[in-house]
Amino acid sequence: MNRLRSDRGQAAVLTVVFLAALLGAVALVLDVGSWFREQRDTQAAADASALAAAQELPYSTALADTRAADYLSKNRGGDAAVSYSSKWATDDTVTVVVERKAPGVFSKLFGIDSVDVDARATARASGLEAARWVAPIVVNIKHEQLNCGRDADDKPVPCFGEPAVLTLDHLHKPGSGDAAGAFSLINLDGDDTGSVGGAELGDWIEKGFDQYMKLGDYTSVPSAKFNDSHIKDALEARMKDTLLFPIYETITGSGSTAIYTIVGWVGFKVTSYKASGSDGEVKGSFTRVIWEGIQSSTGSNLNYGARSIALVG
């Protein structure tokens, strides 16, 4: 007599096999997802480490090394390789490569304890071709405190940190004009060829010009504005702070119609001021600054210490 054979046992075996495969696939997917997250975290760490290192460039690769290492040690660590290259100035570019182990959990069932992830980031410190949050007080390019030596690329270097005084000294200003009757104040709005009120000048000193100021020609503002209460209040509010001043190369015209040709920017820490007509002055010291701006495509103006840092790869 023939007996019907049951397939229920075979179905159970197949179900177990398929469930095991499914669970293995799900587990592997979970681990792969965690590895991708680790890759993103490693890339973020490399980006931030490169930007941190670039803050010291092009002046000190040793300090840049320290910044890169300090950042990684405070952010889960990793093995890092730091290297430098030159684009517009010597050692103005840093590349950081970070390597980490990304451990697995379920993948260990398949003999995979961890995978290696790595990330690369390149950042550069460069001069500015446009700057934001600028103050409307200009500095003569021939100011002696802007010319205390030459850097590795034979560009003038300011006497950073040493006392400096900005005054109305038209006898020593370069260019065909002397702007007598103007305390080196300019209208930062390049699209406006007229004058500007004391309230707006004061706002630009206290908060900075909220647009990107480009290199080029800007109109003078009468020196009487320097005695305005808004400017005095603004300088009082920014005492001991660092402002960004434009550097001018030439003056054409004279008086309140003079045109200043701006060729760069420099950081200036204000310590005191005197607002008294043609004897007005601002005292402080030039300082290196990292500033919000558009990086120069030629690296110009880096020698005056005002620079922007950005990821470039």
pLDDT, tens only, 137-180: 999 888 989 999 988 778 889 999 999 998 865 444 444 455 54
Are 274 and 167 spatial neighbours (Cβ–Cβ below 8 Å)? Answer: no
pLDDT for position 154: 81
Rounded alpha-carbon distances, angstroms, from residue 10 to 6, 23, 126: 9, 20, 71
Rounded to whole angstroms, the Cα distance separating 51 from 78 reads 17
* Residue tagged 């009487």 (tokens): 224
pLDDT for position 233: 96
Are 258 and 223 spatial neighbours (Cβ–Cβ below 8 Å)? Answer: no
Q: Enter the tokens of residue 204.
A: 């630009």
* Cβ within 8 Å of residue 83, ≥6 positions away: 94, 95
pTM, two decimals, is 0.82
Entry field: residues in the chain: 313
pLDDT for position 304: 92
Rounded to whole angstroms, the Cα distance separating 80 from 99 reads 6
Q: Determine whether 243 is exposed, middle or buried from the number of CB atoms within 10 Å of its CB (0-12, 13-18, 19+).
A: buried
Query: Taking the mean position of all CA atoms in its chain, how far away is CA 38?
Result: 27
pLDDT for position 1: 46
Helical H runs in 74-103? none
For the chain, which residues score pLDDT lower than 50? 1-2, 4, 170-176, 180-182
Rounded to whole angstroms, the Cα distance separating 15 from 10 reads 9
Are 204 and 186 spatial neighbours (Cβ–Cβ below 8 Å)? Answer: no
